[in-house]
Amino acid sequence: MTKDKDFKKLVRTRMLATGENYTTARSTLLAEHATPDQTAEAGNGPTADPQIEQFRTKTLRTFMPDGRITAIPTKRRALVVILIEVLKALDADKVYEEKELNGILGDFHPDFALLRRELIDYRLLERNSHTGQYWVNPTPPVHTGSQAQEMAGLEVFLR
């Protein structure tokens, strides 16, 4: 928690205006008010909070030690870390047929259908249900409710 009363007021004002929870409103305000030095690390774009980076590293070491998913995390926040990592294997400019996507996801874990559904539920992946085509969502989605809490701070790891 921050000790800066003015910043807390800004966060609470944003919460009232947008309906976001404290964590999401705080993260958004920090991102909006960050200086270029704070948001870029050697030209690699936004940087993550050290605690979030530590959580991500621990999660990947636990569930993807060799690049394959050893077990699907039951905690939603850990699952989001895994989904973002899986998403990196997909070409952002390509439209995938379902069979091709299943093959890529199957390289990570045998339950490729679960991975596909979760990627779609978090709107990281889009689909056309009539044609069976899938593609990476070109704009990072704005999540609400519990998904906003699960994604908070992890957005920096999206492409």
The two three-digit tokens of residue 49, written as one number: 């909070």
| Residue 151 CB neighbour total at 10 angstroms | 25
**What is the per-residue pLDDT for 37?**
43
Cβ–Cβ under 8 Å, residues 92 and 55: no
**What is the per-residue pLDDT for 79?**
95
Chain position carrying tokens 């920096």: 156
**What is the per-residue pLDDT for 33?**
63
Chain position carrying tokens 């004002």: 13
**What is the per-residue pLDDT for 103?**
95
Alpha-carbon torsion angle 46, 148, 32, 83, nearest 10: 10
**What is the per-residue pLDDT for 124?**
92
What SS3 class is residue 135? strand
**Which residue stretches of the chain have pLDDT < 50?**
1-2, 35-45
Q: Which residues contact 69 (CB under 8 A, 6 or more apart)?
A: 63, 82, 86, 108, 109, 115
